[in-house]
Amino acid sequence: MSTPSPAPAYEIRVAEDPADREACFAVRKDVFVAEQNVPEDIEYDVYDADAVHVLAVREDGVPLGTGRLLHGAAAAAKNGDGDPAVGSLGRLAVTAAARGMGVGAALVRAVEAAARARGLTAVDLHAQTHALGFYERLGYRAYGPEFPDAGIPHRAMRRAL
């Protein structure tokens, strides 16, 4: 009887250098533009410049996933009540090869840590409806009606930090 080989190790880090940010954008292009047919011209937006981007990278350097945190006025414009103390988690994407490895949950926790470090009291997000259970398991609660974003059904969710 053989023992299963362990999944490749990965790390989560804030994408501070240009190469890491480009890796984040490449993951988003693979997942949102190629897989989900989100138009590329709406995938990247003005919020990217000031957002905190997090990146999951396999030990051999292959990017596995990304997410971003909006804070301040950018988050207030996106969250349900305009509260600047509430961050906005978005653009969470995990490559097809990395799904099921815990990368998505680790990215969410990294975004939450970045929010706490900025003194935020909660995190809002707009979840694709098929992912509601994933976010609920991480402590998020849906509120408000379903709405379309890039032609995909979503619900607003929030978790207090």
- CATH assignment at residue 122: 3.40.630.30
List the structure tokens of 138: 């991480």
Closest C-alpha among 46, 36, 147 to residue 96: 36
Flag whether 4 is in a domain.
no
Closest C-alpha among 93, 96, 95, 97 to residue 134: 93
Per the structure, the complete domain to which residue 33 belongs is given by: 10-160
Q: Spell out the residues 6+ positions from residue 134 whose beta carbon is closer than 8 angstroms to its own.
A: 104, 105, 127
The predicted pLDDT at position 6 comes to: 58
Flag whether 74 is in a domain.
yes
Per-residue pLDDT tens for 86-138? 999 999 999 999 999 999 999 999 999 999 999 999 999 999 999 999 999 99
Q: Spell out the residues 6+ positions from residue 57 whose beta carbon is closer than 8 angstroms to its own.
A: 10, 11, 13, 20, 23, 63, 64
Flag whether 90 is in a domain.
yes
Q: Is the pLDDT of residue 156 over 60?
A: yes
Q: Is the pLDDT of residue 8 over 60?
A: no
Q: How many structural domains are present in the chain?
A: 1
Q: Is the pLDDT of residue 3 over 60?
A: no
Q: Is the pLDDT of residue 159 over 80?
A: yes
Flag whether 5 is in a domain.
no
Q: On the CB side of 38, how many CA atoms lie within 13 Å of its CA?
A: 22
DSSP label of 29:
I
The predicted pLDDT at position 73 comes to: 86
The predicted pLDDT at position 55 comes to: 98
Flag whether 100 is in a domain.
yes
Beta carbons of 118 and 128 less than 8 angstroms apart: no
Flag whether 84 is in a domain.
yes
Residue 43 binned pLDDT confidence (cut-offs 50, 70, 90): very high
Flag whether 3 is in a domain.
no
Beta carbons of 96 and 35 less than 8 angstroms apart: yes
Q: Is the pLDDT of residue 158 over 70?
A: yes
Flag whether 97 is in a domain.
yes
Mean pLDDT of 35-64: 94
Q: What angle do CA 145, 135, 144 make, to 5 degrees?
A: 15
